[in-house]
Structure 1
Amino acid sequence: MRVTAIACVKNEGPFVLEWIAFNRLIGVTDFLIYSNDCSDGTDALLDALGAYGVVHLPNPAQGRNYQMEALKAAARHPLVAGADWVWVADVDEFLNIHVPGHDIAALIAACGDPQAISVPFQFFANFGVMRFEDAPVIAQFPRSHNPDLWCADTAIEVKTLVRKDFPLHYYGAHRPFARKRAPAPTWTDGSGRAVPGKFLTAANPRRLRRFPAAGARRFATLNHYALRSLDSYLVKNDRGDVNRDGRAFDDSYWRERNDPAWEDLSIRRYLPALTEALDEMKTHVGALHDACVAAHRARAAELAQDPHYAALRKHLQGLPTFPPGELELARELGLAP
């Protein structure tokens, strides 16, 4: 089974090897990765990963919606057109598969081999980690929000595995969109249940990329490490959004994702195999990885001397850990005092 992952990156060099190694463990065979104006060595590292199924291309975007333009181009690429399944994800997102086997094939079987599987996000908090460490992200950040609540909503964003016979109109970042008048595809959540009808048909503009999370992640969760360390978050803030122009990683973004109420260590099941895979990869591209790490640390040190970023660091450290509206919703649902 050929599974192609599509991603867009900018200055993600320190995190690329872990993401590639992890996805190979769960059954991704090919990677189509578009980069935007990297200055930390990410592009050179990606160019050296051909033996691991990676094809690296410059982002073809002519406008400001970098990811959507890349996805439009990706749909015509042989790695995508010839794949059995396509997985669109970012380098801070890890598909944590709970069913025995813990890989994509096991998830597909558990869900009944549908044409699409949408798995809800679970946002993992910074949890007081200040300094960047060159170690697996999935081992460093063990706490998240209540998986069924996020801010003031019970609906949570998803990412989607798409089978080759899905009646595709176009790929979205979170879900595919089906051709009009095509037969409705078979489409499940991360528990093998049919997705809500309005989500399937994209009938509700407010729920195009999310649906209620309760009960939707029995077979898999999408662990999203959007914050990582405070050092890395400030570098991310300085870099800007790789997927679209004009999006700020401000204190609202931080507060919405820095809720450590829930401990979830389940993804650590992959650590022994991941560590072994990373050690093997570094025998071939370790110098390029180390160069990315050095560039990341150097930029973090520069930002620490910048008065604006020093003030932002202090401000973020002082913010409450309950996201806006979540405590009120939890009380309403009887989940908090």
Structure 2
Amino acid sequence: MMKDEAPFLLEWYAHHLAVGFTKILVYTNDCSDGTDDMLIRLEELGLGYHRRNEIPEGIKPQPSAMKHAQVEPVVRNADWVLMFDADEFLSINYGDGTLDPMLDAAGDANGIVITWRIFGSGNVIDWSRDPVTEQYLYAAPPTWNKGWGVKTLFKFDHEYWKLGIHRPSIKRKHLDDGFPDTVKWLNGSGLPMEDYFKFRGWRSIRRTVGYQWAQLNHYAVKSVDSYAIRKFRGNVNNKKDKYNSDYWSLQDRNEVRDEKVLRYSDRRRAIMDELLTDPVLNKLHFAALERVEARLEEYRKTDAYEALKASLIEALKVPITQINAKPPKARDPEKIKALMSQVEKNNAERPVNERRTKPSAEFSDVEDGGDGFVPGEIDTSVETAVDWISNHDIFLPADVRIFAQSTLDQVMRGKYQRRLARWTGRVVEDGDRILDLGAGIGFLSFLTLKHYPNCQLLVQEDHASRLALMKDVLKRNALDFDTRLGWHEKPVVDPNSDTTTIASIDALIRVTQPAVIRASQEPIGRLLAQLDLGVTKRIMLTGPAANAFKQSKVSGADLAENEDIGIAEAVVINRTPAVKATS
């Protein structure tokens, strides 16, 4: 569905031909910039279909177009259907980036739920004719749940399905005839969707989000000048003043760089160049560009433009943690239950372990056996506004690029690793030498040195970016522990070799001779009985290391005195050293 998208139309069209769509159907309403004329010409060239969206009085354009599409032969005869907008570009991360290999991999699935990636302005102010997919390469982190709206690629049968913006809905007459049992949808990583999504919802959740197969790049704002153009045009649901600075703050997310869509640049450019060889399309395309640029030039001379520009630049300063997708709305379980069909109610009454899936590693958190961090190296290549929140008198960055969602909530409330912090006194004595393996961003390490002035501590972290963030935390808190704090800036865990991991940690223990070891990495918990612990008296395993230790059921006299401290993320082990400490 489009209105006044002429400056961007050919790129969007060429991109999706490059992705592998064979039929593109566009509904337009009230166009004044030649969008409909361009689409008519594309249909004349046999490259797609255009329909005018006739809108009855009092009806919004979007529902009207869906009503037309429901009975449209082009839609009814399609193998797969995806409904999306002119500011959305499908990016397939699977295979060669085209549809067919991904659909082949889907096997007998009849739907793929594709989650948005919100792309921001990248701090671009001025208008440019450069392609959207090449200008805007900064996006919200994949773990930002407010950006998890979806669109659904699915096998359409008009007898059973009613089209919807984010997902189709099963027609009520087929809710209890066994049809829901035939619905097999996958998420954007090719993993099974939970059954609830057959019936309701328009967003992914932490257990279902995934981007390994596909993502839908959502360029809702583009540059400041492009945003001004969008305000001229209006929106498909006639929402008054939708495109204000609040909407900009929500959509202008630039926390991480994402270049995956550039895989289409050559194919898209070749198709677009071919389209522009048609003299009619060529004339319409460049006339649309000149028209919008002339209008923009006039608008730039006004106080309204300066006010808009200033408000958007100010909105850039809003941290991502302060963004609200929409005003909070209380969830009413009874109301939802009343709307459910009997099939949905039966599904909801199944045991939780049957209804819910475990999130993929990228989106897991402490409760799922993770360490509370976004996996992998942290992308801090672009400046972004971040809140710093006091947690036990140490200020930490409330940064969605660093912390998984539940852990971020704890940081925001000043309760990060609160229980582990309280247990430090059960593990550490003033004067101890401490080795922190997998120290994250250094919170427990720095807290220990603050509270125990005679302790010495060596921090180690396998992730280089987390080590850099540790130093940012030190600087932000004006902490200086002098020689009491040491740094081991090399990885100790070899993901491909337990033998190398053991050798690296043994060597570090021999050099450090710690009385206390704290460790978070999974292999350490699994391999603990094989380490040469030397003079170590107490061990605190946290997160993945604690879970691995519990699951491995390690035995041995030197590890016999272990204490599950009553919280999921830690185990404390007291041992009698086999050797004496050396000075």
Give the TM-score of the pair, scaled to structure 2: 0.53
User: CA-to-partner distance for each residue in 1:121-163, whole Å, 9 max, x for gaps?
Assistant: 001110111122112111111110111214xx4x710011121
| Matching of residue 117 in structure 1 with residue 112 in structure 2 | yes
CA contact (8 A) 1:35 1:57 kept: yes
User: CA-to-partner distance for each residue in 1:46-104, whole Å, 9 max, x for gaps?
Assistant: 11111252221211221342111101111111110111111101011111101112111
What residue in structure 2 maps to residue 128 of structure 1? 123
Query: Which aligned pairs between 1:128-167 and structure 2 lie closer than 5 A?
Result: 128-150=123-145, 153=146, 156-165=148-157
Separation in 1, partners of 2:132, 2:263: 14
From the superposition, tell whether residues 123 and 193 of structure 1 become closer, same or farther in structure 2 (CA, over 3 Å): same
CA shift, 1:305, in A, is 2.6
1:197 to 190, 195, 198: 195
Separation in 1, partners of 2:197, 2:188: 14
Separation in 2, partners of 1:244, 1:105: 36
CA contact (8 A) 2:110 2:184 kept: yes
What residue in structure 1 maps to residue 164 of structure 2? 172
CA shift, 1:314, in A, is 1.3
| Matching of residue 310 in structure 1 with residue 306 in structure 2 | yes
User: CA-to-partner distance for each residue in 1:178-225, whole Å, 9 max, x for gaps?
Assistant: 1222522111111122223322221xxxxx210225751111111111
Separation in 2, partners of 1:168, 1:292: 41
| Matching of residue 325 in structure 1 with residue 322 in structure 2 | yes
CA contact (8 A) 1:66 1:245 kept: no
Gaps of 5+ in 1: 1-7, 203-207
What residue in structure 1 maps to residue 276 of structure 2? 282
Higher-RCO chain (CA-CA 8 Å, sequence separation at least 6): 1
| Matching of residue 211 in structure 1 with residue 207 in structure 2 | no
Aligned AA (2:303)? P
1:65 to 60, 63, 71: 60
CA shift, 1:10, in A, is 0.8
2:89 to 87, 90, 94: 94
Gaps of 5+ in 2: 324-385, 387-397, 412-472, 474-583
Separation in 1, partners of 2:130, 2:273: 12
SS in 1 for 2:91: strand
Aligned AA (1:323)? I
| Matching of residue 291 in structure 1 with residue 296 in structure 2 | no
Same amino acid, percent of matched pairs:
31
SS in 2 for 1:221: strand
Separation in 2, partners of 1:58, 1:79: 15
From the superposition, tell whether residues 76 and 247 of structure 1 become closer, same or farther in structure 2 (CA, over 3 Å): farther
CA contact (8 A) 1:64 1:245 kept: no
CA contact (8 A) 1:123 1:257 kept: yes
| Matching of residue 13 in structure 1 with residue 6 in structure 2 | yes
Separation in 2, partners of 1:31, 1:241: 21
Query: Which aligned pairs between 1:181-260 and structure 2 lie closer than 5 A?
Result: 181-182=176-177, 183-184=179-180, 185-202=183-200, 208-212=201-205, 215-246=209-240, 248-260=242-254
CA shift, 1:167, in A, is 6.3
Separation in 2, partners of 1:277, 1:321: 39
CA shift, 1:334, in A, is 4.5
Larger Cα-atom Rg: 2
User: CA-to-partner distance for each residue in 1:267-312, whole Å, 9 max, x for gaps?
Assistant: 1011011111111111111111001111221222232233223201
User: Which structure has the highest strand share of the two?
Assistant: 1
Separation in 2, partners of 1:190, 1:64: 33
